[in-house]
């Protein structure tokens, strides 16, 4: 079996023959129907170095996966061969309190796992098949795996970030979404489906802003020197209740902090590596600044339910496995629309 693997940090991924896979005890083998290409894969290839993460290559990329159960390992009950499933991406120890709550993204013993998940230290979905612990599959109903795959990260991550701020997103509230790409275009739909907040999208490019307004954003603002004033003007100078920063650079964090009103939330999701100084007078009083990482398994079920009912949909650009590197190049060049999904 041919798989797209990260061989070492600081270089592009490579195709390698990895042999055939079998479902071990407690596992299922999933025939991949879609594997999303994520910006964080680019960070793995080009920005991270050995020692920065508690795990190392080689492993097959792809941490955003869905497909069909191909084989069932010993001891697994309640699942059937052929059933369509999405794969929950963050893999914890499975035994600590957070894992038992379904919040494996915040496992208390992650260091003992030796990976963050499939495609992040362990073999992921950029291959025809993937081995998964049975507790990590979530049943699909009418959704095609190719459309479900992006929900497991590009959908789940913004859903989690929005849900923790739901109490500040009542009628009359405003939310700024910085970065209207893979995660941002899902965030805008989730906000429209689950809250009455008014959405302002901010992006460097015009095309994602057009998609953003099509998906439910009330306004699109081009990133740059005037963005700060433009956003404040849209709220008559009051400021916004939530900023979801899907970029995470010095510039976007500064913009987020400058436009957030008292009691608002600045939520950092993007891993561009920027930072924000926090002092008594800045940002405004009682503004909460938080990073978020991925989401819980129950939240993934809620995201899938939203998609099954037609209220959110990932804008998918398909690539074959052979063309997977082209998908990453397009992502680097900023020429993708929505999410690139590899269909082996």
Q: Answer yes or no whether residue 191 interacts with Zn ion by CB under 5 A.
A: no
DSSP for 245-296, written as a single string? ESS--HHHHHHHHHHEEEEEEEEE---S-------SSSS-TT-EEEE--S--
Cα Rg for the chain, rounded, in angstroms? Answer: 20
Output the smallest distance, CB 97 to Zn ion, in A: 8
Q: Can residue 84 be called a binding residue for Zn ion (CB under 5 A)?
A: no
Helix (H, G, I), strand (E, B) or coil at 129: strand
Taking the least distance from each CB to Zn ion, the nearer of 121 and 264 is 121
Instruction: Give me 218's structure tokens.
Output: 């009330």
Show the binding pattern over residues 13-32: x = contacts Zn ion (CB under 5 A), - = does not. --------------------
Sole window of 38-46, 197-205, 253-261, 310-318 interacting with Zn ion (rule: CB under 5 A): 38-46
Q: Among 3-11, 44-52, 135-143, 149-157, which window interacts with Zn ion (CB under 5 A)? A: 149-157
Q: Is 155 in the site for Zn ion (CB under 5 A)?
A: no
Q: Please pick, from the candidates 42, 71, 79, 93, the single residue that binds Zn ion as defined by CB under 5 A.
A: 93
Question: For residue 197, what is the DSSP state?
Answer: P
State which of residues 32, 35, 107, 221 lies at the interface with Zn ion (CB under 5 A).
107
Contacting residue, 6, 28, 38, 300, with Zn ion by CB under 5 A: 38
Report the nearest approach of Zn ion to the CB of residue 153 (Å): 4
Q: How many residues bind Zn ion (CB under 5 A)?
A: 9
Dihedrals phi, psi of 234, to nearest 5 degrees: -65, -20
- Looking at 34, 73, 84, 92, which residue binds Zn ion (CB under 5 A)? 92
Residues 273-281: contacts with CB within 8 Å, 24+ apart? 273/47, 273/248, 273/249, 274/247, 274/248, 274/249, 274/250, 275/250, 276/250
Q: How far apart are CA 276 and CA 250, in angstroms?
A: 7
Instruction: Give the nearest distance from C-beta 328 to Zn ion in angstroms.
Output: 13
Closest separation between CB of residue 167 and Zn ion, Å? 27
- Closest distance to Zn ion from the beta carbon of 93 (Å): 3
Query: Pick from 334, 315, 178: which is nearest to 251 by CA?
Result: 178
For residues 207 and 84, give the distance between their C-alpha atoms in angstroms, rounded to a whole number: 33
Closest to Zn ion by CB, 129 or 246 = 246
Does 296 bind Zn ion (CB under 5 A)? Our answer is no
Neighbours of 214 (CB within 10 A): 12
Interacting residues with Zn ion (CB under 5 A): 38, 40, 92-93, 96, 99, 107, 109, 153
């Amino acid at each position: 079996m041919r798989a797209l693997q990260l061989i070492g940090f600081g270089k592009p991924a490579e195709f390698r023959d990895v042999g055939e896979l079998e479902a071990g005890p407690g596992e299922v083998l999933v025939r991949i129907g879609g594997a999303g290409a994520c910006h964080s894969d680019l960070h793995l290839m080009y920005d991270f170095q050995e020692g920065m993460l508690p795990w190392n290559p080689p492993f097959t990329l792809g941490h955003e996966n869905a497909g069909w159960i191909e084989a069932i390992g010993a001891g697994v009950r309640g699942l059937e061969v052929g059933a369509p499933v999405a794969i929950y991406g963050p893999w914890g120890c499975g035994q600590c309190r957070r894992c038992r709550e379904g919040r494996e993204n915040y496992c208390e013993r992650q260091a003992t796992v030796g990976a963050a998940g499939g495609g992040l230290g362990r073999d992921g979905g950029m291959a025809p098949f993937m081995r998964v612990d049975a507790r990590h599959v979530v049943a699909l109903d009418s959704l095609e795996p190719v459309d479900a795959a992006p929900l497991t990260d590009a959908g789940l991550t913004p859903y989690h970030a929005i849900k923790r701020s739901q109490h500040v997103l009542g009628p009359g509230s405003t939310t700024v979404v910085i970065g209207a790409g893979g995660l941002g275009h899902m965030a805008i739909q989730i906000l429209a489906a689950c809250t009455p907040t008014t959405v302002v999208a901010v992006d460097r490019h015009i095309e994602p802003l057009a998609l953003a307004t099509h998906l439910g954003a009330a306004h699109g603002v081009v990133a740059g020197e005037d963005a700060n004033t433009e956003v404040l003007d849209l709220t008559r100078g009051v400021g916004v209740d939530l900023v979801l920063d899907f970029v995470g650079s010095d510039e976007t964090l500064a913009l987020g902090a400058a436009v957030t009103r008292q009691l608002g939330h600045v939520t950092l999701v993007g891993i561009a590596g920027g930072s924000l100084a926090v002092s008594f007078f800045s940002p405004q009083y009682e503004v909460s600044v938080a990073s978020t990482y991925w989401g819980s398994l129950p939240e993934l079920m809620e995201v899938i339910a939203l998609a099954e009912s037609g209220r959110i949909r990932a804008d998918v650009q398909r690539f074959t496995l052979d063309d997977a590197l082209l998908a990453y190049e397009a992502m680097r060049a900023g020429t993708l629309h929505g999410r690139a999904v590899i269909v082996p």
